[in-house]
Structure formats: C-alpha cells, structure tokens
C-alpha cells in the first residue's frame, strides 16, 4: 500500500505509511521535519507511535549532523530468529516445562547472570572499544553500579519492557525460536549520556529547537565522532547479546526436545540504530528508531504482540521508505493505561493457546495495547513481502512491573 499521509508544514515532507497516527506522534513528526539537515524527507512506518524526542517508527536521513534521540536509548534493540529442524509434533503437549527452562537460563529485567556467561575472548573484544569510549567520557562509568560486572554479566539476558523470547510455528509447522532484546543497561546509559551531552553542547542554541530532545551533534563538532563511536559499540554489544541469548535458549531446549539442528534460515536485525547509507544521490546517516532495514531481498523480522502473529519478511527495497519497514505492531495504548484498562481475565482470553505468564506483571504487553499486526502488514505491502507467518505457542515476556527496558 502506498504512502497514506504526508506532512508538508516543515522544512522537508514527512511521508507516512498509515493514516492511523496519534496527535502526539503527529506533532513530534512535525517537530522533526523542522530540523535543517534532513535529506529529502522523513519516512514513517505504519506502527508509528510517540517516543522521546523522535517518533517510534521513524526513518530519518541526515547530512552533516546526527540526533541521538533519533536512535533512542535502547541502542541496537532488535530481533533474532532461528528455524529449527523439528516440527510441531516434536513439541510436548504441555509447554510449561520448556518455558520454565528458558526462564531459568535467561535473566530478565535488571537481573544478570551470576557468573560471566560468555567466552573471555568475546569480553576482551568488547572491552577494547568500551575502554576507548570511557577514556573520553568517564562519567558513563558512574551511571551504573559495578559497571564492568554489569555489562559483562548482562550479555545473554533479556531486559525488560516489551522484550521477549518465543517459540513459534510457521505455516509448515516448522518450529522457530525468536527473541527481542537490545544493548541492556550499558546501551541505556550510553544513550542517555549522549542525548544529554548534545543538549549541553548546544548551549543557548537549544532554545531554537522545536523540542530540546532533538538536540544534535554537528559534523566536525567536539563530540560528533565520539557519539558515532559509542553508538556503533552499543549496536555491536546488542548483536552479541542476542547471539549469546539464543545459544543459551537452544542449550536449554535440548534438555527437553528431540535432537535438533539449526537450519540456514536465520535472521538477525536491529530496529533502533544508525547506519551510513546511500539514498537519493547522497551519502547520509540513516537513523531508524523502531524500523528495520528492508533492502531488496533482505530478510527481516516483524513481530506482533503476545498471542498475535509475527512475520518473516523479505525487503522490496522501496526507495521512498529508505529501504525500511516497520519493526512490529506498534502501541496504541500506554503501559499505564493498559494496566488500568485490562484485567487478568482479558490477558487469559487474548493469549488463549499460548504458554505464557498471564499475571498483572505483563498486562501492559496484552495484545489489546497494540495495533492489529495484519493491518500494519497491509499498510506496508509496498515495503516487504511475507515469507513466513509465525504463530506463538510459547512466550517468555519481561516483567515490566519489576524492571524497566534497560
């Protein structure tokens, strides 16, 4: 489906792949379109909703400057999915024991492993880049308790908020493992630090911004290269986190399931990140906040909410979206409102047939708090084609009540 809404009141157009957009998000996009260094236009995905400074679901190409809030604080947040060599009939009738095994293997929320979970060579490789960043910005190291131990032992952990681990079945009854997580506590503090540093660096000029959270670093300025170095490191950390978590999940599943292998069909993608790309005859920084890359032929993951369908997709390389698509269904209700509006009975009915927690700690992730994933997919038929349709049978969600999306 083509672009449905265009905002033309700013310095560049905002091209939106839906007409279902809340007033707050619309105003944020109008604010973003006032920035003087955006190349061509801003593209907005059909799962669009309000964020901090920059709207979730936005794709912003910039020349000569970069906005940390256009990436956000969960730097490198994204998805990983593996298709296993087993079928639905190989799963036990009752999946509770599998869910408990996954819970035991993967810490959630602010929790971490009790011992270093990854190879020392992995830690050493990440340490080199982080120490270089901390040498120039030591304050980052004061923003967490036991910072070194925390970032090392949070590798292979889920986090909080809307992060999850799922077992799914596709249209052929093949079993998939899918997970959603990011750069954990260390990515969060790096994101917060540089958002605030951009505000500080802009000084009195920040009053000229439509929103102070759109503070930016100009190319050649003191901290421009530092931010790019730090965001790149956090994106790498997030990739390693998902890789290590997937390894731990598969090890846990092997205790209960028949012997299985991993097929060649494996997908790993960021949806909160920045990358150097070529669009409309210019080399630009593309900040995707709640959007995935959808280059022609590129595989991606678009999850629905708990109990809803998810999709493995292939990008169509649409230039107007900067070769992007949505990262999920998108919220229609805040976490607080969802907790006030829905009950545990609602949770049980909306996640019928899925082995998952159905208590007050996860009500804010109820399917009713999200957009209909099928409508979202319909609105981006010009951006991606569906390869597999996945249906959750087991969901391990983070506890949003006792943890934040670190």
Give the residue, 73 or 397, on which the prediction is more confident.
73
Confidence at residue 357, expressed as pLDDT on a 0 to 100 scale: 83
Confidence at residue 44, expressed as pLDDT on a 0 to 100 scale: 98
Q: Which domains does the chain have, with CATH numbers?
A: 5-63+76-397 (3.90.1860.10)
Is 93 marked as binding a ligand?
no
Distance of alpha carbon 288 from alpha carbon 315, whole angstroms: 15
Confidence at residue 272, expressed as pLDDT on a 0 to 100 scale: 98
Distance of alpha carbon 256 from alpha carbon 273, whole angstroms: 36
Is 186 marked as binding a ligand?
no
Contact 367, 306 (CB under 8 A): yes
**pLDDT at residue 367 is higher than 90:** no
Q: Give residue-wise pLDDT tens across range 46-91.
A: 999 999 999 999 999 999 999 999 999 999 999 999 999 999 999 9
Is 338 marked as binding a ligand?
no
Task: Read off the pLDDT band of 147 (50, 70, 90).
Answer: very high
Q: Which of 173, 73, 83, 154 is nearest to 116 (CA)?
A: 154
| DSSP label at residue 54 | S
Q: Mean pLDDT in the chain?
A: 94
Confidence at residue 401, expressed as pLDDT on a 0 to 100 scale: 38
Determine if the pTM surpasses 0.85: yes
Q: Give residue-wise pLDDT tens across range 258-304.
A: 999 988 778 999 999 999 999 999 999 999 999 999 999 999 999 99
Which of 41, 49, 270, 327 is labelled catalytic? 327
**pLDDT at residue 406 is higher than 70:** no
Is 304 marked as binding a ligand?
yes
Q: Give residue-wise pLDDT tens across range 4-25.
A: 999 999 999 999 999 999 999 9
Task: Read off the pLDDT band of 141 (50, 70, 90).
Answer: very high
SS3 267: strand
Q: Is 327 a catalytic residue?
A: yes
Is 271 marked as binding a ligand?
yes
Q: Give residue-wise pLDDT tens across range 304-351.
A: 988 789 999 999 999 999 999 999 998 888 888 888 999 998 898 888
**DSSP calls for 315-377:** E---GGGTSEEESS--BSS-HHHHHHH--HHHHHHHTTT-EE--SGGGGGG-GGGB--HHHHH
- End-to-end alpha carbon distance in the chain: 35
Is 300 marked as binding a ligand?
no
């Amino acid at each position: 489906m083509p672009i449905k809404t265009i905002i033309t009141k700013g310095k560049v157009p905002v091209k939106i792949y839906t007409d279902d957009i809340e007033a707050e998000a619309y105003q944020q996009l109008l604010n973003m379109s006032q920035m003087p260094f955006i190349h061509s236009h801003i593209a907005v995905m059909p799962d669009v909703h309000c964020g901090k400074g920059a709207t979730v679901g936005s794709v912003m190409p910039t020349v000569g400057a970069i906005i940390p809030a256009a990436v956000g604080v969960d730097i490198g947040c994204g998805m990983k999915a593996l298709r296993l060599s087993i079928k639905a009939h190989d799963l036990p009738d009752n999946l509770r024991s599998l869910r408990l095994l996954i819970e035991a293997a993967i810490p959630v929320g602010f929790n971490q492993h009790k011992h270093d979970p990854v190879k020392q060579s992995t830690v050493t490789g990440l340490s080199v880049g982080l120490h270089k960043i901390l040498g120039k910005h030591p304050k980052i190291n004061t923003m967490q308790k036991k910072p070194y131990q925390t970032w090392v032992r949070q590798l292979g952990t889920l986090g909080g908020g809307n992060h999850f681990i799922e077992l799914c079945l596709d249209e052929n009854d093949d079993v998939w493992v899918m997970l959603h997580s990011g750069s954990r506590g260390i990515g969060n503090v790096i994101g917060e630090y540089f958002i605030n540093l951009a505000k500080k660096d802009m000084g009195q000029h920040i009053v000229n911004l439509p929103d102070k959270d759109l503070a930016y670093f100009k190319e050649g300025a003191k901290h421009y290269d530092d931010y790019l170095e730090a965001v790149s490191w956090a994106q790498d950390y997030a990739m390693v986190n998902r890789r290590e978590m997937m390894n731990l999940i598969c090890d846990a599943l092997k205790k209960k399931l028949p012997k299985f292998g991993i097929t060649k069909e494996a997908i790993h993608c960021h949806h909160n990140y920045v990358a150097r790309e070529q669009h409309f005859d210019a080399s630009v920084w593309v900040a995707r906040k709640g959007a995935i890359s959808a280059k022609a032929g590129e595989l991606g993951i678009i999850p629905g909410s708990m109990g809803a369908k998810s999709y493995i997709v292939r990008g169509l390389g649409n230039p107007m979206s900067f070769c992007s698509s949505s990262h999920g269904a998108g919220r229609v209700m805040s976490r607080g409102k969802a907790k006030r509006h829905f009950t545990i009975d609602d949770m049980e009915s909306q996640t019928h047939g899925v082995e998952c927690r159905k208590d007050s700690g996860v009500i804010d992730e109820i399917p009713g708090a999200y957009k209909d994933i099928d409508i979202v997919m319909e609105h981006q038929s010009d951006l991606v084609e569906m390869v597999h349709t996945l249906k959750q049978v087991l969901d391990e969600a983070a506890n949003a009540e006792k943890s934040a999306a670190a």
